Amino acid sequence: MRRALHEKRSGLTPCDFETARIDTYVGTVPVLDDVRVRPDLLDYDCRNNRLAQLCLEQDGFAGGVAAARGRHGAGRIGFYLGTSTSGLHATELAYRRRDPKTGALPADYRYAETQNAYSLGEFVRRYLGLGGPGFVVSSACSSTAKAFGNAARMIAAGICDAAVVGGADSLCLMTLYGFHSLGLTSPGPCRPFDADRDGISIGEGAGFALIEKADRARSGAILLLGVGESSDAYHMSTPHPEGLGARLAMRQALECAGLQPADIDYINLHGTATKTNDASEDKAVFGIFGPETPCSSTKGATGHLLGAAGITEAIVSILAIQSGLMPGSANTRSVDPAMKSNYLLENRQANVTRVLTNSFGFGGSNCSLVLGVAE
Amino acid sequence: MRVFVEGVGLLGPGLQSWNAARRVLTGEEPFRSASTVIVASELLPPAERRRTPVPVKLALAVGQEAFQNAGRDAAATATVFTSSSGEGETLHHMCEALASAEREVSPTRFHNSVHNAAAGYWGIATRSREASTSLCAYDASFTAGLVEAATQVTSSGKPVALIAYDQPYPEPLHSARPILASFGAALILAPEASRRASATLELAVPTGDEKPTGMSHSGLEELRLGIPAARALPLLEALARKMQGDVVLDFLTGTRLRISVSPC
């Protein structure tokens, strides 16, 4: 991901997902068709859990959790995960194979292990051998950002000593046709904050992080400094035009971190590339940070990973801190002149120590995280 | 973790509100099973009221009752929604449409399909811009929600509303995941004792497979086992009876939630 961000590469391609016939671009993980879930977890086999497993196997993550199990004991490690659609594609496929006489779903359909929102939670818990308490957050596109808040609170309350956060969201027909029905999918690769932006590109993705108590943090460790959560109380699928909920979430995250807006070096925006999201987010960001703080959306590179947007963009934020890279916006040609924030079209190298990242979802669910680094 | 119960909302088969059902849970009145009657919330603007799916109506109804009983302002209170089943009817219609040749899906149905639909409508209805989350832990969804709500109360020092609800799926999903009936329960939890508080809950999450507390009445026990949100019943019974003692709820394999209940 670090290299892809440096090269400003976009993973968006014309949509050829399954039988979808929609004129749009998507971010797919094509190898998922060939991923085999671990034999003891075969009941959980579905696109979303394959994606989760593939991700858990990257970057030595599962090994890192095994080491943490040794330090804390499996029963002291919780899991707070997010997903928007879980294994819904398994249900979509089962609905095509209903019994023509009775209408029944096929006998091999497994609801609990695929469709239920908790499927991802139990799969990851078993895969990593965790024994602590946990659950799945499903608050649409803020899900995996909010999971950081759950983990921080649980650790603070002594419910667990460490926690796995993150989650997965995979492509399915419901989101492709659903966003299309709302007129929110772009026919091309999405262009956040562009004057000619015309909608989102849906992507699939996963990300995980292991969180431990900060009192053990070594120099250079990434710190979760603040979490802010709010509701728009406005509309189910349209953000508040002035970004009121977004402002509340950002202010709360700063307050929680004990920081001023000027302390933030870079903002990773939600930046979905819909007309309304980007306009209202710009108002909210400008209202708090003014015209200086560099900000960008990385959805031109990844697409909108829906429930997994929070964790993957938290990871982009961590990479920004570790490598000093503030990523320029892939696919955006010219910034909408109505936007007042300092939106980055090109990559910028700088000393980055504190990043704020935004995730907003349907139902007006907003979450902002502030990440930093231990001295 | 210690929290104080300030208000309860309840809606289930033969349990038409907390105030009506309390006497059933204390055993003063017999339990008579009957269909759960769910009415759309008057808090919603008429256009939204028409568009709300049944699980949303159920969640709003129990949430509203709990706030009324607590005498708290919903607009100023954070919420934790928890449900195993989420938006079943909407899911069914979407999957049917997607399995058809035309694949015509309704945009309203799509935005109603998210697991946090109830939380979204709650915000619109109460004008609350406070934090809200929507959880799922399969059969342990109520327990997960209670643990999350209690940690929020202790970390923020502010009251939090827990709203748990489950609505049966239509066929063919019902056969794959049978849920006995509509059931919702809500608790307003506060960090400090006040004249509003009726009980103190002391929560612990021990490891082990201790037997969860059951319901002595077989009809109520059937609800507890047949509806994830009805796993709240032993706690609600303890609250109704003003009982002093422990209630044990299922959590995940090898984990339980022990609640030491004492009346205020």
Kindly state whether residue A141 falls inside one of the protein's structural domains: yes
The whole-number average pLDDT for the span B167-189 is: 98
C-alpha separations of A314 from A52, A142, A197 in Å? 17, 12, 24
Q: Does A126 touch chain B (CB under 8 A)?
A: no
Residues of A in contact with B103 (CB under 8 A): 21, 173, 177
What is the predicted pLDDT for the residue at A216? 74
CB-nearest to A95 from B98, B123, B251 is B98
Q: What is the pLDDT of residue A217?
A: 86
Is residue A278 one of the residues assigned to a domain?
Answer: yes
Partner A contacted by B205 (CB < 8 A): yes
**Cβ <8 Å between A92 and B135:** no
**Closest C-alpha to A285, from A165, A192, A206, A167:** A192
Distance CA B217, CA B236 (A): 14
Contact (CB, 8 A) for A153 and B155: yes
Cβ separation B116–A178 shorter than 8 A:
no
Cα–Cα distances in angstroms (integers) from residue A193 to residues A125, A334, A358, B177, in the given order: 38, 8, 15, 43
pLDDT higher than threshold 80 for residue B202: yes
Q: Quick one: which of A193, A335, A222, A320 has its CA closest to A265?
A: A320
Its pTM stands at 0.98
Q: What is the pLDDT along chain A (375 residues), one digit of tens a residue?
A: 889 999 999 999 999 999 999 999 999 999 999 999 999 999 999 999 999 999 999 999 999 999 999 999 999 999 999 999 999 999 999 999 999 999 999 999 999 999 999 999 999 999 999 999 999 999 999 999 999 999 999 999 999 999 999 999 999 999 999 999 999 999 999 999 999 999 999 999 999 999 999 887 899 999 999 999 999 999 999 999 999 999 999 999 999 999 999 999 999 999 999 999 999 999 999 999 999 999 999 999 999 999 999 999 999 999 999 999 999 999 999 999 999 999 999 999 999 999 999 999 999 999 999 999 998
| Chain B contact set for A106 (CB, 8 A) | none
Whether the CB-CB separation of A57 and A37 falls below 8 Å is answered with no
Q: What is the per-residue pLDDT for B104?
A: 94
A65 touches chain B (CB under 8 A): no
Surface of A (212-231) touching B: CB under 8 A: 229-231
How many other β-carbons are positioned within 10 Å of the β-carbon of residue B214? 14
Respond yes or no on whether ipTM tops 0.90.
yes
Q: Examine the residue annotation and report whether A240 is marked as an active-site residue of this protein.
A: no
Determine the pLDDT at residue A185.
98
Contacts of residue B148, defined as CB under 8 A and 6 or more positions apart, other chains included, come to A135, A150, A153, B80, B82, B133, B135
**Residue B50 confidence (pLDDT) above 90:** no
Contacts of B141 in chain A (CB under 8 A): 118, 135
* Chain A environment of B120 (Cβ under 8 Å): 231, 236, 362-365
Chain B CB within 8 Å of residue A44 CB: no
Residue A127: predicted pLDDT: 98
Catalytic annotation present for A304 = yes
Least CA distance to A156: which residue of chain B? B155
Query: What residue ranges do the domains of chain B occupy?
Result: 2-196
- Rounded to a whole number of angstroms, the distance from the CA of A307 to the nearest CA of chain B is 11
Q: How far apart are the first and last CA of chain A?
A: 25
Residue A338 domain-assigned (yes or no)? yes
CB-defined contacts A:B, below 8 A: 203
Domain enclosing residue A50, as ranges:
13-373
Is the backbone peptide bond immediately before A187 cis, with ω within 30 degrees of 0?
Answer: no
- Judge whether A13 is closer than 8 Å to chain B, CB to CB: no
- B132:A140 CB<8 A: no
- Are B146 and B153 within 8 A, CB to CB? no
What is the pLDDT averaged over residues B208-216?
93
A7 within a domain of the structure (yes/no): no
pLDDT at B259: 98
A193: Cβ–Cβ under 8 A, 6 or more apart, which residues? A269, A271, A273, A278, A282, A296, A297, A329, A332, A335, A336, A339, A343
How do strand B199-204 and strand A205-212 relate by DSSP bridges? unpaired
> Chain A contacts of B173, Cβ < 8 Å?
91, 105, 111
Backbone dihedral region of B157: left (phi > 0), alpha (psi from -120 to 50 degrees) or beta?
left
Residue B18 has pLDDT above 80, yes or no: yes
The answer to whether A131 contacts B111, with C-beta atoms less than 8 Å apart, is no
Residue B47: pLDDT band (50, 70, 90) is: confident
Of A98, A136, A362, the CB nearest to B120: A362
* CATH number (domain holding residue A85): 3.40.47.10
Query: How many domains are there within chain A?
Result: 1
Q: Is A111 on the interface with B (CB under 8 A)?
A: yes
Quick check: A245 contacting B, CB < 8 Å?
A: yes
Chain A CB within 8 Å of residue B73 CB: no
Q: Is A270 known to be catalytic?
A: yes
Check residue B66 and give its pLDDT. Answer: 98
Task: Give me the helices (H) in chain A, please.
Answer: 2-6, 47-56, 61-72, 88-95, 119-128, 143-156, 173-181, 244-257, 275-289, 299-302, 309-323
What's domain B2-196's superfamily in CATH?
Thiolase/Chalcone synthase (3.40.47.10)
Q: What is the pLDDT of residues B84-107, one digit of tens each?
A: 999 999 999 999 999 999 999 999
- Average pLDDT, integer, range B230-235: 98
Q: Is residue A5 part of a domain?
A: no
Q: CA nearest B138 in A: which residue?
A: A118
- Of A55, A141, A295, A367, the active-site residue reads A141
CB under 8 Å to B172, separation ≥6 — which residues?
A98, A103, A104, A105
Nearest to A153 among B110, B151, B171 (CB): B151
- Percent over 70 (pLDDT), chain B: 100
Q: What part of A 129-148 touches B (C-beta under 8 Å)? A: 131-140, 146
Alpha carbon distance B89, B55 (integer Å): 9
* pLDDT at site B49: 84
Q: Do B18 and B66 contact (CB within 8 A), yes or no?
A: yes
Residue B207, pLDDT > 90, answer: no
Contact A228, A368 (CB under 8 A): yes
Check B176 against A105: CB less than 8 A apart.
Answer: yes
What pLDDT score was predicted for residue A288?
Answer: 98
Paired strand residues for A208: A166
Give chain B positions within 8 Å (CB) of A229: 131-133
Rounded to the nearest angstrom, the minimum Cα separation between A191 and chain B is 23
